[in-house]
Amino acid sequence: MKTIKGPGLFLAQFAGDKAPFNSFEAITRWAADLGYKGVQIPTWDARLFDLDKAASSKTYCDEIKGKAADLGVAITELSTHLQGQLVAVHPAYDIPFDGFAAPAVRDNPKARQEWAVDQVRKSLTASRNLCLDAQVSFSGALAWPYLYPWPQRPAGLVEEAFDELARRWLPLFNHAEDMGVDLCFEIHPGEDLHDGVTFEMLLDRVKGHERCNMLYDPSHFVLQCLDYLEHIDIYHERIKMFHVKDAEFNPTGRQGVYGGYQSWVNRAGRFRSLGDGQVNFGAVFSKLAQYDFPGWAVVEWECALKHPEDGAREGAPFVRDHIIRVTEHAFDDFADAGTDKGALNKMLGL
């Protein structure tokens, strides 16, 4: 069995224009001082990472790894959440998602999509240059506006949306295979891949491609009232990344899963800092240890109430205390009396 690596920290929610959050070396030093052993890098943030250079220069990647290693920190994975979102955008979301793209391709959906695909491809190449074996992304969404079946969906609408999603992602899965990197979708509301069923719908269309995998984040399943522990039982072979994030769901007589268009702080379902929500992380870490999860436990801080720096400070010991150092022998080995074939036959009356 494998012991989960960690704690790691996803840097996206902390990056900013003020020190120590405005450069890779400074933010990594800050994370190391809090007790983190790994950092997950958002590839869209040029203050922290030059994706073009990382895709073309092994020397640059070695320099980045060296800066982290000098602080006792590893790079866990690269993230292309924002670029992946733009691989598939329904026209209803053209305006709100346009800001995720480079200025040169905004207000041009075709150019924006081509840019996004190129970004994900470059990140997979950069992952190879960094000697990483997994990368996280969003799937994007074509069918999401039709999530609720009213008005009645025309026959074939969802099927065509997922056929197109598969056409867009299959070349990237093939490039991921060439790079030796698992492409892991964060299963997330707002994406066409928002639960196990929708993940399977894409997986079937890409013929079970080995590089089509998942990032597991139980917080998104709490907000959907999905069994986040059974999800591990079902999909553990495809779970290659892990975000440690908490959430709570407190429905009332006034609102439930859909949240009544309220702000995060006023929703029945909301993200919380680790330990402040309802996720049973003892069970989550036990399940992942049981199934030999090979990767990192990476804190993704999102909370409607707590200050991010407090969440980051509390997150490192929380994860460290939940990581299970797996046993190398069975607990009852002390009672092993030893056997041979003759003794086995005698025990069976043979």
> 193-210: per-residue pLDDT in tens?
999 999 999 999 999 999
| The pairing of beta strand 212-216 with beta strand 239-244 | parallel
C-beta of residue 271 within 8 angstroms of C-beta of residue 306: no
C-beta of residue 243 within 8 angstroms of C-beta of residue 186: yes
10-residue block means of pLDDT along the chain (350 residues)? Answer: 95 97 98 98 98 98 98 98 98 97 98 98 98 98 97 97 98 98 98 98 98 98 98 98 98 98 98 98 98 97 97 98 87 71 89
Give me the pLDDT at residue 333, please. 67
Give me the pLDDT at residue 82, please. 98
Single-letter residue type at 189: P
Give me the pLDDT at residue 334, please. 58
Query: 295: closest CA among 225, 238, 219?
Result: 238
Give me the pLDDT at residue 80, please. 98
C-alpha distance from residue 72 to each of 21, 103, 162, 194 (Å): 18, 36, 43, 35
Structural domains in the chain, sorted by start: 5-347 (3.20.20.150)
Give me the pLDDT at residue 327, please. 80
Helix (H) or strand (E) holding 229: helix 228-235
Give me the pLDDT at residue 344, please. 87
Give me the pLDDT at residue 305, please. 97
